[in-house]
Amino acid sequence: MAKSSSSRSKDTTVAPAKGNLAVNTDICAGCRTCEAVCSLFKEGISNPELARIHVFKDELDGYRCEPLPCRQCVRPECLFVCPTGALHVDAVTGARVIDEKTCDGCQLCIKACVYKPPRIRFNAQKNVCFKCDLCGGNPQCVKFCPTGAITYKAKR
Amino acid sequence: MALFGWVGKILRVDLTTGLISEVPTANYVPKYIGGRGVGAKIHWDEITPAVGAFDPQNKLTFMTGPLVGTPAPSASRTTVQAVAPMTYPEELYSSSTIGGHWGPELKFAGYDGIIIQGKSASPVYLWIHNGLAEIRDAKHLWGLNTYNTQKVMWETHGKKTRILTIGPAGEHLVRMAIILSDVSSTSGTPGYGAVMGAKNLKAIAVNGKGGVPVARPQELLDLTYYYQRLITRKEGEAEPPANYRQQRCGAGSYLGSQLEEEAKNGTIRAGMSGCFACPVCCGLSIKVKDGSLVGSGDIRCLEMLTHEREQAYYGGKLKGRPAYETWTLADLLGISNVRFWERSWFLTLIDRGILTKENTGLPVDKLGSVEFYRELLHKTSYREGIGDLLAEGESRVCNYFGGEAIPIWEITAQVAGKHGGSGGWNENKLGSIVRLGSTISGLDSRGLYHHSYDPKKWVHPPGCKCGRCTPLTPEEYRAVKSAQDKKWYGSENAGDLTTWEHKAPMAKKHIDWRVMTDSLVTCMNNFPLTTSNYTPDKLGDISVERRLFSAVTGIDMAEEEWIKTAERIYMLERAILTRHGHTRAEDWFFESIFKENSTWLDKEGLHKTLDEYYTLRGIDVTTGIPKRSTFEQLDLKDVADVLENKYKVKLSA
């Protein structure tokens, strides 16, 4: 049964993230180094299904590629809907992050994400949701993207 | 014992019985590493010399390696093995590689490799997902071109699915048929598309939610970053990106081309494309904005050569969009366009009037036009009219005509004897003679197809058109080449094409590294990395592959053991040739090759160098057959026993 909406109203605001990931689709080559590195760094195994970033590819449309990171929304619908508070604002980076220990795997955040495909995924083995946390301030996808298609944009 | 890197299982699919089973990867690794090494071992164990390319008994193997599916740079590839349709006169074992994203997805689906044996009674495809495999009906796919096949399969199995497919050429058992994945990642040279066709296997689709375990993740990440910084820079950095990406597969191939012109005008969108976890991103992706052009997608690997040589190929007439259209057509049909243009055998047959408009039905008077090329590719892919003969490949076509066509074939094939012929894997035979150095390096190399050896790929050379670098002067470039030759190959003479000196050791080193590259499986574009644009001396680091292997698998190997592993795999491949009756007589060129190159290719020098090479390898200098002691030192005593007992080969001590 779906939990009732959280006590936080739509008027609630949270501190914006200090920056987020920007993408340049002109130079994304679809190599998915970001997916391999992200999953290995965050989960200890190289598995794109466990990456916090994914590259959309349309091979038959001129091999069009677009990295799809979490936008660290100013109004994070995922955070507003989280019933346990697992999804919160990181004190250091301002990133919208999920505390695995308090996440109960309800997946309301995934449904709430305004982007399609959602930028949050579910780990069936751990029964928790996972998303980009900007690697605590040193995003690995930015570091390892060979072309520079993914960059970190600081806000203000 | 927990495996890292390898995911632990090889799939065996029998298309005759429909039986699917699993083989522990640990049966073959770490001794044979993966890729080409495991492929050779399986072939040695399970196939006899009597098996032909199109026989149901032929086994088609697809092997990834321990690095595939991890962030290890450029470790995206899969090797393909089987008795190859293009080999001539005797059909023989060969090995090919294919890049892109299929290999990693196979690992994510739970398998290190696949063995395909037998023949299906009707068209089928293989569907492998999350540790399960099924043989499925492919009647709805048979006859479709390679892109449409994948479109249908993506609708059925989802976009994450990666597919190996054949086109009409493979279905019609065209010897130059390719296997293709996505848009331009292919296995080309040996003609394995026709082996799939002979087995009624249309495609292999893989999709998985699994991952590849890594023994020492932080070490792998550190090594990956270190290696990336040897290879390239990002857009926006002060230092320009590496020459390779700037210029696309060789100096000057994209810059200044008609395609670049169109990109500047905005009529096409040109971008980069890359294989899984590769920092090179050598592919050129093209979208024609008005939608008028057939095909789409990107240009990779050997297609870049035809693009690079806009001047030389197709009689010098096809450039820009028409050239791009013809490459795409070849991909759609699933046929190797490179095979028609390699060493100009086809154009020469036309030039000399052996192939004419009358006897081919082709618009030969419009040679070099898209129209001619379309006719040629269609007829060949469907074996229509003259296409039925052309589908047999250059060796068989030339020998069919005989007479004046024979010297044309000899120039193309170069290697005499029953294991000569082009289109196969030349690792144990003489390969292409382009320069003196490559003659002997070609002594066991795919015609010195080792891009990373060429400093132009990685440093901005004299005449660099990227507009952002300070290119080397000719003197500086020569100095880098000498330094590279001395440091990695042991002598400044290694690349000196005016002398036989040091060619044998160079060939041995070169081939050993190639064997490991093909077993891990990384990419010969940038492994081993002999030069770098970003080091003070412009030299790279060739230890990286071995260290990547250790970080991923947790198995530490000193360089000596690494080389011994390469020697072992090489010697197993040599044993496969030996049981086919390969001797020193087969390691030689046609008389016509010596005549053509008489100014520098002298038999005495070649004999001496061959002696030297054999000695380095532990091959008997008189017979060209490996010595028993060599096999035993390489932990291949069982191979020596089989050669002597089963195949009655006399091995010297």
Quick: pLDDT tens for B157-191: 999 999 999 999 999 999 999 999 999 899 988 89
Report DSSP letters for B103-157, one per residue.
Answer: HHHHHHTT-SEEEEES--SS-EEEEEETTEEEEEE-TTTTT--HHHHHHHHHHHH
pLDDT, residue B289, reads 86
Whether B71 sits inside 8 A of A61 (CB atoms) is: no
CA distance B615 to B626: 10
Distance from the Cα of A7 to chain B's closest Cα (Å) equals 36
Distance from the Cα of B21 to chain A's closest Cα (Å) equals 25
Distance from the Cα of A75 to chain B's closest Cα (Å) equals 30
CA distance B141 to B368: 32
B472-490 confidence digits (pLDDT tens): 999 999 999 999 999 998 9
Flag whether residue A73 sits within 8 Å of chain B, measured between CB atoms.
no
Give exposure, A55-74, as e/b (b: 16+ Cβ within 10 Å).
Answer: bebebbebbbbebbbbbbbe
Classify residue A63 by its DSSP letter: T
Peptide bond into A48 cis (omega under 30): no
Whether B221 sits inside 8 A of A44 (CB atoms) is: no
Mean pLDDT over B307-325 rounds to 63
pLDDT, residue B391, reads 97
Mean confidence (pLDDT) of chain A: 93
- Spell out which residues of chain B touch residue A67, defining contact as CB-CB under 8 Å: none
Distance from the Cα of A50 to chain B's closest Cα (Å) equals 9
Mean pLDDT over B15-21 rounds to 98
Q: Reply yes or no on whether the pLDDT at B251 is more than 60.
A: no
- Strand duo B124-129 + B201-207: pairing: parallel
- Spell out which residues of chain A touch residue B210, defining contact as CB-CB under 8 Å: 47, 49
- Spell out which residues of chain A touch residue B262, defining contact as CB-CB under 8 Å: none
pLDDT, residue B426, reads 36
pLDDT, residue B317, reads 65
Cβ atoms within 10 Å, residue B498: 10
Whether B281 sits inside 8 A of A146 (CB atoms) is: yes
Instruction: Specify the residue for token string 């490949």.
Output: B393
Nearest-by-CA chain A residue for B269:
A62
Classify residue B463 by its DSSP letter: T
Instruction: Specify the residue for token string 């400093």.
Output: B455
Closest C-alpha among A144, A40, A143 to residue B214: A40
Mean pLDDT over A136-141 rounds to 97
Whether A39 sits inside 8 A of B211 (CB atoms) is: yes
* Cβ-based contacts under 8 A for chains A and B: 140
pLDDT, residue B449, reads 47
Q: Reply yes or no on whether the pLDDT at A1 is more than 90.
A: no
Flag whether residue A106 sits within 8 Å of chain B, measured between CB atoms.
no
A52-101 confidence digits (pLDDT tens): 999 999 998 888 999 999 999 999 999 999 999 999 999 999 999 999 99
Rounded alpha-carbon distances, angstroms, from residue B332 to A88, B203, B378? 50, 14, 10
Q: What proportions of chain B, in percent to the nearest 5, are helix, strand and coil?
A: 40, 15, 45
Whether B236 sits inside 8 A of A148 (CB atoms) is: yes
ipTM over 0.90: yes
Q: Reply yes or no on whether the pLDDT at B501 is more than 90.
A: no
pLDDT, residue B247, reads 58
Q: Of B423 and B375, which is predicted with more confidence?
A: B375
- Spell out which residues of chain A touch residue B131, defining contact as CB-CB under 8 Å: none
B587-634 confidence digits (pLDDT tens): 888 888 888 878 777 899 889 988 998 999 999 999 999 999 999 999
- Strand duo B297-299 + B283-288: pairing: antiparallel
**Residue A107 contacts residue A129 (beta carbons within 8 Å):** yes
Q: Of B154 and B409, which is predicted with more confidence?
A: B154
Mean confidence (pLDDT) of chain B: 88
Top-confidence range, B55-59, B244-248, B316-320, B418-422: B55-59
Of B221, B234, B296, nearest to A148 by CB-CB distance is: B234
Classify residue B285 by its DSSP letter: E
Q: Reply yes or no on whether the pLDDT at A10 is more than 80.
A: no
Whether A146 sits inside 8 A of B221 (CB atoms) is: no
Helix (H, G, I), strand (E, B) or coil at B83: strand
Distance from the Cα of B601 to chain A's closest Cα (Å) equals 43
Cβ atoms within 10 Å, residue B559: 10
Q: Reply yes or no on whether the pLDDT at B441 is more than 80.
A: no
Flag whether residue A122 sits within 8 Å of chain B, measured between CB atoms.
no
A interface test, pick of B218, B231, B296 with most A CB neighbours within 10 Å? B296
pLDDT, residue B180, reads 96
Mean pLDDT over B273-287 rounds to 89
CA distance B632 to B639: 9
Query: What is the amino acid identity at position A26?
Result: D
pLDDT, residue B431, reads 34
Report DSSP letters for B502-563, one per residue.
Answer: THHHHHHHHHHHHHHHHHHT--TTTSSEEE-TTSTT-EEETTHHHHHHHHHH-----HHHHH
Whether A33 sits inside 8 A of B277 (CB atoms) is: yes
Residues whose CB is less than 8 angstroms from the CB of residue B344 and which lie 6 or more positions away in sequence, other chains included: none
Classify residue B102 by its DSSP letter: H
pLDDT, residue A3, reads 44
- Strand duo B113-117 + A54-58: pairing: unpaired
Whether B213 sits inside 8 A of A45 (CB atoms) is: yes
Cβ atoms within 10 Å, residue A125: 8
pTM for the model stands at: 0.95
Classify residue B183 by its DSSP letter: T
Whether A40 sits inside 8 A of B71 (CB atoms) is: yes
